[in-house]
Amino acid sequence: MKFFIESRKVLFLGLAVYVVLKALFTLGAVSQYIEQITLFAFIMIVASLGLNVIYGYTGQFSLGHAAFYGMGAYLSAYLTKVFEIEGVLGFLPAMVLSGMMTGLAGYVIGIPILKLRDDFLAIATLGLGTMFKVVLDNSDRFAEILGGSRGFVGIPRITNLEVTISVTVFIILVTRNIIFSRYGLFWRCIKEDELASVSIGVDTTRMKLMAFSYGCFLAGIGGALYAHLYTFLHPSSFDILKSIDFLIIVIIGGMGSITGTICAGLIWVGVIEGLRILLPVEMLDLRWVFIPLMLILLMMWKPYGLITKRSRQLGS
Amino acid sequence: MEVLGYILEQCINGLQLGAVYALIALGYTMVYGVLRLINFAHGDIFMLGAFTGYYLITKFTIPIYFVFIITMALTGCAGYIIEKVAYKPLRGAPKISLLITAVGVSLFLEYFLSLKMIFTPNYIGFPRPFEVVSYNFSILSVTNVQILIFTITGVSLGLLYVLVYRTKQGRAMRAVSYDQEAASLMGIDIDRTISMTFIVGAALAGLGGILYGIAYPQINVFMGVMPGIKSFVAAVLGGIGIIHGAVLGGLIIGMSEVFVSAFLSSTFRDGVIFIVLFLVLLLKPSGIFGKRTEKV
């Protein structure tokens, strides 16, 4: 009960967002396409929060987040196919299960690779992402249904506004509570100075693993929602570029800021899809010319991210 | 005998690919040494080299060695401009912003050059500036393209070695990669040294681009992505910041890629490379030639 009372602000906000969006969708004020990308923006927020826990709060640089996102997507799609799930009630356990399995995978993979640091961790996770894509490309060799490089087709469309909003709000609340708990304190401690954390008795290996697997869990949940929103999965949707998408959202939003990640997720999806609407058809190719330029200029203008407190003046 | 011949042939192919990777990896390793930056745009400079070579060969009838020199000069300039425009304003910013900028530059180059009015996103056949001749020695055969690639890689590696270990500029580079602040206190012009590193690295990548185009005659605007990542892996494999490490890493990556394609399946090759990387990182995190750094 305490959980709900303390988080009433977020709950009310979530409810308000839900009412507004529901009204817009049912009145038919927006197109189907905008409906879909709105839900997609929430999914991106859930998965980016995971990366924010790993990188923004704990300081473990991961470039393989899309692999876990994809893992969640494929697991959930596979589960709903095997158990022939069509409705929301059956989907929720499948989603949680695939999230947990992704988290477990993150734990197992984290044991060896979290020993590495900084750029070496980055390149190892980058390798992980590439390897995962190779596995997906060959996935039809061990399970015909996964489709390999042809893509996974015929996933039931289950993700709707209610599911997305409630999952997102719930995830935000849980993440917030963990961050303000003892564990969150340890995580931030590791980020600031790993050596000092060891010396005051923080079990850094365990804490890093926890943060990593929790972040992967969130990626898995996001992936599961994604799979049942677009009803089609392809290995190329989970490559390095996707990992970089998450990273950009975390950086723009400011590392270690939940509000920032939420805003940045909305902005990022809004900009990418917005340019698709704004630019005339013959100039659509220019979209990916503008986006990197904006990114570079943004980094020059605000190297610490758009929405962030300049809490640390010294060092980087 | 037949099997042995096949294996030897694959060895030569692996060395050929590895030599190209080595050329790109050198730039990665040098830039990482001085800036601690994974320069994602490096793979695109490699692509730029291939395209420059393509236009020089098709549009102008100039001797092939001039093509090499002009391409190297142009890609060197590109590296210099990228460093000055995109990376220099971020000196002192968090490392991650620099990394995002590098990704931005890479995406910009790819998608800008893939516009219809510039290079188009299609595959383009790379012209062969000379006839391919195959020389047969009892069981193995080598083409003149392969000999060209080995020679050029070897020569540029030698020149780079002289530059880094025998000249004053090279000493400055090594000093900056060791400790930037201390180097600047000793009167080394940091900006100049970093620019120099970018120019040399980019020129080598451009050279790699033409060689790649001659060896695998199909080029595309997005061709730099995977070789770029693989070359960075090669640099990590050999011990980042170490020149002969990058070359060895490149050869290992090239060899394993060719062997996996030849004996397993070409769909596995990217995966196997990263398995090799994992093993090396887990057993010797600083790379094959890397010195042990402090461990926490």
The DSSP-derived string for A16-32 is: HHHHHHHHHHHHT-S-H
Q: How far apart are CA A56 and CA B179, in angstroms?
A: 27
Q: Which residues of A touch B112 (CB under 8 A)?
A: 289
Strand partners, B137: B140
Query: What pLDDT digit, counting tens, does each position of A150-176 carry?
Result: 888 888 888 888 889 999 999 999 998
Instruction: Kindly state whether A293 is in contact with chain B, defined as any CB-CB distance less than 8 angstroms.
Output: yes
pLDDT at A33 over 50: yes
pLDDT at A30 over 90: no
**Residue B185 pLDDT class (50, 70, 90 cuts):** very high
Radius of gyration of chain A (CA): 19
The residue that leads in pLDDT, A217 or A33, is A217
What six digits make up the tokens of B282?
């887990």
Q: What is the pLDDT of residue B296?
A: 35
Asked if A304 lies within 8 A of B268 by C-beta distance, the reply is: no
pLDDT at B295 over 50: no
Whole-angstrom distance between the N-terminal and C-terminal Cα of chain A? 40
Neighbouring residues of A166: CB distance < 8 A, sequence distance ≥ 6: A14
Query: What pLDDT digit, counting tens, does each position of A57-91 carry?
Result: 888 888 889 999 999 999 999 999 888 888 888 88
Candidates B101, B116, B282; nearest CB to A296: B101
- Least reliable range by pLDDT among A197-206, A305-314, B202-211: A305-314
Asked if A131 lies within 8 A of B274 by C-beta distance, the reply is: yes
Q: How far apart are CA A243 and CA A73, in angstroms?
A: 14
> 3-state DSSP call for residue B142?
strand
CB count, 10 Å around CB of A310? 8
Query: What pLDDT digit, counting tens, does each position of B26-69 carry?
Result: 998 999 888 888 888 999 999 999 999 999 988 887 888 888 99
Confidence (pTM)? 0.85
> 3-state DSSP call for residue B136?
strand
DSSP state of B285: T
Neighbouring residues of A223: CB distance < 8 A, sequence distance ≥ 6: A47, A68, A69, A70, A71, A72, A73, A74, A75, A76, A98, A102
Phi, psi of A172 (to 5 degrees): -60, -45
Instruction: Kindly state whether B118 is in contact with chain A, defined as any CB-CB distance less than 8 angstroms.
Output: no
Q: Do A292 and B115 form a contact (C-beta atoms < 8 A)?
A: no
Q: What is the pLDDT of residue A315?
A: 39
Q: Which of residues 53-82 of A touch B (CB under 8 A)?
A: 61
Q: Stretch A37-48: mean pLDDT, rounded?
A: 92
The DSSP-derived string for A104-169 is: HHHHHHHHHHTTS-HHHHHHHHHHHHHHHHHHHHTGGGT-GGG-GGG-B--------HHHHHHHHH
> 3-state DSSP call for residue B276?
helix
Q: Stretch B242-246: mean pLDDT, rounded?
A: 88
Q: Stretch B196-210: mean pLDDT, rounded?
A: 94
Query: What pLDDT digit, counting tens, does each position of B269-280 carry?
Result: 888 888 888 888
Angle at A61 between CA A58 and CA A66, to 5 degrees: 110
**Residue B155 pLDDT class (50, 70, 90 cuts):** very high
